[in-house]
Chain A
Amino acid sequence: MIVAKATQSSSNLVPLVLSWTLVGVPLVWGISLTLINATKLFK
């Protein structure tokens, strides 16, 4: 069995940040717009 090393290579850091930002930014945008609309329920 090939077991991964406990610490990830630093060369992964940039792609990790970029890829999570790529999916995170639109998701946060969508959630924030939805939450703003939902606040009307509690006014």
Chain B
Amino acid sequence: MSDDFLDRSHSVAKPGFSRWLVPPAALCIHLSIGQAYAFSVFSKPMSMLLGITEPGPGDWKISDIGWIFSLAIVFLGLAAAFGGKWVERVGPRKSMFAAALLFSGGLLIAGAGVALHLLPLVFLGYGVVGGMGLGIGYISPVSTLIKWFPDRPGLATGTAIMGFGGGALIGAPLAVALMKHYATPTVSGVAPTMLTMGIIYLAFMMIGAFIVRVPAEGWAPAGYVPAKSNAAKMITTRNVLVAQATTTPQFWLLWVVLFANVTAGIGVLGQASLMIQEMFPGKFPHADPTQIKASAAVAAGFVGLLSIFNMAGRIFWASMSDFLGRKTTYAIFFALGIALYASIPSLGKAGNLPLFIACYAIILSMYGGGFATIPAYLKDLFGGLNVGAIHGRLLTAWSAAGVAGPVLVNYIREYQIGHGVAKADAYSVTMYIMAGLLVVGFVCNMLVKQLGEQNYVPTGTGSLQEARS
């Protein structure tokens, strides 16, 4: 493929191009990289590569395998933070192309690592190379979508980021079906599954890179009247340099906002399956091994349902934020979240399963909504020109939360159980601590104000070029 074809200048849309072709291009990327959320389907089979039916001598431990996902999330944040400016400079097509090579290449390397039974190679493949693909892929369509939909930036970014949530819904059953297809009585199907998925995702992501276009300079949708800067809603029409953005209190307040929302969400998502089984023992009996298996299957259905709300919340809340305003939307996330997190222990004790599920579903919708609304929040505050790069730097909050969330939740739970607290009650303190974290997020969100004049790039000749460089 010619390098020219990948250049920003060669992906400028011709007159008559429909902007509604851009969200599916973005979805090709996000639905693919969203497979990361389904990586846990490989955990158990990867712990039995030698033993086949059960873990054998020399097989990898589940706790070691867990590091693959954590590493991928860390490299997602690092690639988004350090690659953001490059993504803005080269445009969406080249960055989507790079993301496709990295993500699918990571799967291929990981598949080789599984075939050779070399865990460091899997870390390198899925964790490092694949993780970088996740980071570049995650941010690559964001600023392009905002430029195509200046009238509905929340809807546009929500559609793409919804794909990241939806990717697990495709990746999990696809991986299970492929592993079943390739497995033999003597060989696990993990390695060929990873290789096959790498090829499928490469093709899918390349289609996205082929479809995507950037709007011509000065393009605007029919009937769109650019809004003037709105101090009340904290919407600017000007732009801020990436390096300048990270020196502002607003950037770091939003960093904490994202960190709090993601940490709390990861905390409850990670323990959802165990929690529902231990809080509702009547619904999830564990008296004999067959009941345990059946209960785990029902709990897996619960986790799947939460994934749907995680995905749907991304487009719902991000779209709503176009009308409510970003600050109000986050205020709802935190205020409602505090009430819901604090209610879960009593709902569990009262044995109210439908309300328990409803609370969890709303929490997960706001977890997803937090991810999807943040690019539009950044665009409002810092302008649209460098929003992809600024978003990339903010995503380090996700990496930090990806490590802090599970560690915090597991530590609190183990500490309590170690001190004689019943398993079903051990969640209460965790939920109250998460609610406390949301209070911190609420306060930080309320402290976000419009940027001072000194932060913006002066309007005039050459300023736009400087802002992009």
Contact = CB atoms under 8 A, between A and B. Distances in A.
Interface in A21-43: 22-23, 26-27, 29-31, 33-35, 37-41
A23 B163 contact: yes
Contacts of B300: 37
B171 to A, nearest CB: 8
Interface residues of A, number: 29
Nearest to A30: B169
A23 B27 contact: yes
Contacts of A3: 219-222, 224
Closest CB pairs A-B (n = 9): A30-B169, A19-B24, A34-B304, A38-B305, A30-B170, A12-B18, A37-B301, A9-B16, A6-B222
Interface string B290-324: 00000001101110110110000000000000000
Contact of A12 (B17, B216, B220, B221): B17
Interface string B24-61: 11011001000000000000000000000000000000
B306 to A, nearest CB: 9
A40 B297 contact: yes
Contacts of A11: 16
Contact of A27 (B17, B18, B31, B304): B31
Interface of B is mostly: helix
Given A30-B173, A33-B173, A39-B301, A23 B28 contact: yes
Contacts of B17: 12
A22 B119 CA distance: 35
Interface string A1-12: 111111011011
A31 B169 contact: yes
B420 interface: no
A12 to B, nearest CB: 4
Contacts of B357: 41
A4 B170 contact: no
A40 B301 contact: yes
Contact of B18 (A2, A8, A29, A41): A8
A31 B25 CA distance: 20
B222 to A, nearest CB: 4
20 contacts: A2-B218, A2-B219, A3-B220, A3-B221, A3-B222, A4-B220, A4-B221, A5-B222, A6-B223, A12-B18, A16-B20, A23-B31, A27-B27, A27-B166, A30-B173, A34-B301, A34-B304, A34-B307, A37-B301, A38-B301
A22 B21 CA distance: 12
Nearest to A25: B170
B404 interface: no
A10 B301 CA distance: 43
A30 B21 CA distance: 22
Contacts of B18: 8-9, 12, 15-16
A4 B148 CA distance: 11
A43 B305 CA distance: 15
A15 B21 contact: yes
Highest count of chain B CB atoms <10 Å: which of A8, A19, A40: A19
B195 interface: no
B25 A38 contact: no
A26 B169 CA distance: 9
B207 interface: yes
Contacts of B207: 22
Highest count of chain B CB atoms <10 Å: which of A2, A26, A33, A34: A34
A24 to B, nearest CB: 8
Contacts of A34: 169, 301, 304-305, 307-308
B211 interface: yes
Given A15-B21, A22-B24, A34-B308, A2 B216 contact: yes
Nearest to A39: B301
A26 B222 contact: no
Nearest to B216: A2
Contacts of B25: 19
Given A15-B21, A31-B169, 15 more contacts: A2-B216, A2-B218, A2-B219, A3-B224, A4-B221, A5-B16, A19-B25, A19-B211, A20-B24, A30-B170, A31-B166, A33-B173, A34-B307, A38-B301, A41-B357
A7 to B, nearest CB: 8
Contacts of A39: 301
